[in-house]
Structure 1
Amino acid sequence: MNAAIGYVLIALAILNLAGLLFLFRRFGAAPKAPKQQVSVPVTEVTQPSPAASSEPAIPSEALASMLRRLENRLGDIEDQVRRGPTVTMPNEPGGNTDRALALAQRLARQGASAKDIAETCGISLAEAELLHRLHAARG
């Protein structure tokens, strides 16, 4: 389950990186020509082009900084996924934690039935029976 979340995070980071790269190329690649002063007669009214007013100007340094941060974060996420899941869930197959087993041992020593141990600790009935046989009070 955690590996799947890691892969989703990697995919989202790659999409963000691709989007920022697109923005960087669109706004940062074309050098802006210096504006020439054009005299416009007073009677003429000019309308700003819709494309110019709807596009925000993003400095290329800011985009480069964002790309570096995303690249670092992506590397961190890849390292986490390579290391494997750090948390296991008791309901996952093979996901019995040390706490659940320690609790099961304690319950078995106190005389709880295998069924109660399995329900309380989230382990299979076969595991609970084994722990009950190993740790139940001899008597």
Structure 2
Amino acid sequence: MNPIIGDVLIALAVLNLVGLLLVFYRLGRVRPAPASEPNAPPVPVPDPEPTIQPDQLAGMLRRLENRLGDIEDQVRRTPTVNVATDSGATSDRTLALAQRLARQGASVQDIADTCGISYTEAELLHRLHAAR
């Protein structure tokens, strides 16, 4: 994975937190529907303030911060290039990279080494996509 994916994951986690805060805020402001009977006793309206306690919110923020740290560590540990282990397990990303390298004038051996594909596959891609 590249660093952009890590930034996107962090942004999604922050948006998730904002969404949760909005949900809690709205739940605190929900008013029940009016009673259908005219002589029914009035229904109490909940307090417009959020019902979540500050210590609960602080706990949620700590858990979110820990989770974000775990995600950042995972992004840092993940290799940026996927190398195919089998000749039959080439992915679309690997083939796209090989095509791009061929268009840029890389040699067949460089394409095979960089993308982890067989020499024959690299030669085919080189013949199909190399500049003429």
Which bracket does the TM-score occupy, shorter chain normalised?
0.3 to 0.5
Compare CA radii of gyration and give the structure with the larger one.
1
Normalization by structure 2: what TM-score? 0.42
